[in-house]
Amino acid sequence: MNADEFLDAVRDDNETALSRLGSSKSLYAATEGEMDPQRVFASAADAEHAAYETFRGWADDEEAAQPVRDAFEEFAEQERDHYDQVVAKLDDDHEPGDVPAIHEYLRDLEGDVARVGGFLGRTLASEKSKEQMVGFFVGQADPQTAQLFRDLGDDLDGQIERGRELLDEVCESDDDWDAALEAASGAIQAAYDEYTETLEGMGVNPKPVC
């Protein structure tokens, strides 16, 4: 397997989950039904802050390979910048909420292979979230904010490219590729399970795609 085949496999294996995470119900779940701009900003800020802390922790892991540490150092700083940009849109100070399920899952991963695989799964899921935020602010007739989230989404494209390169470096066997694939799917599933549980708790059927 190579990195391109890996990404194709992740997308194929998680087609339904990624599709639903890219539906309008995903943003509805993330804001717990409060679909106003300030609540969307707060939800986005929670996600960016969690990503920063996850990647910062991985960058500080002295047992990780140096190229992996360097990459996660870069990703952490990028997520911190994303967080600052989103928080600037809030009317009030931001107090991070509960850690999203996907980051709870990621923080339990050990080793470069699992972490890089999980990172790519997270980033594919995050792309879906950014797309929904772009669409939301387009619908709010706020092109400037829509462009902000479009730009954040563009940064994710760069993260995926860097992640692909890392994966080719750290995966040395079929078992490594399988472990990376399991971690990527696990990350997406963690996000999907939280989405499903949140909607069901609100009395909303999570299955039909909007």
Give a three-class secondary structure readout of 167-193. Answer: HHHHCCCHHHHHHHHHHHHHHHHHHHH
For residue 108, the 8-state DSSP code is: T
pLDDT per residue over 11-64, tens digit each? 999 999 999 999 889 999 999 888 899 999 999 999 999 999 999 999 999 999
Q: pLDDT tens, 87-112? A: 999 999 999 989 999 999 999 999 99
pLDDT band of residue 82 (cuts 50, 70, 90) is very high
Burial class of residue 85, CB neighbours in 10 A (0-12, 13-18, 19+): middle
Domains located in the chain, CATH noted: 3-201 (1.20.910.10)
Mean pLDDT of all residues in 186-203: 95
Structure token digits, residue 162: 């860097």
Under the banding of pLDDT at 50, 70 and 90, the label for residue 207 is confident
* Mean pLDDT along residues 111-136: 96
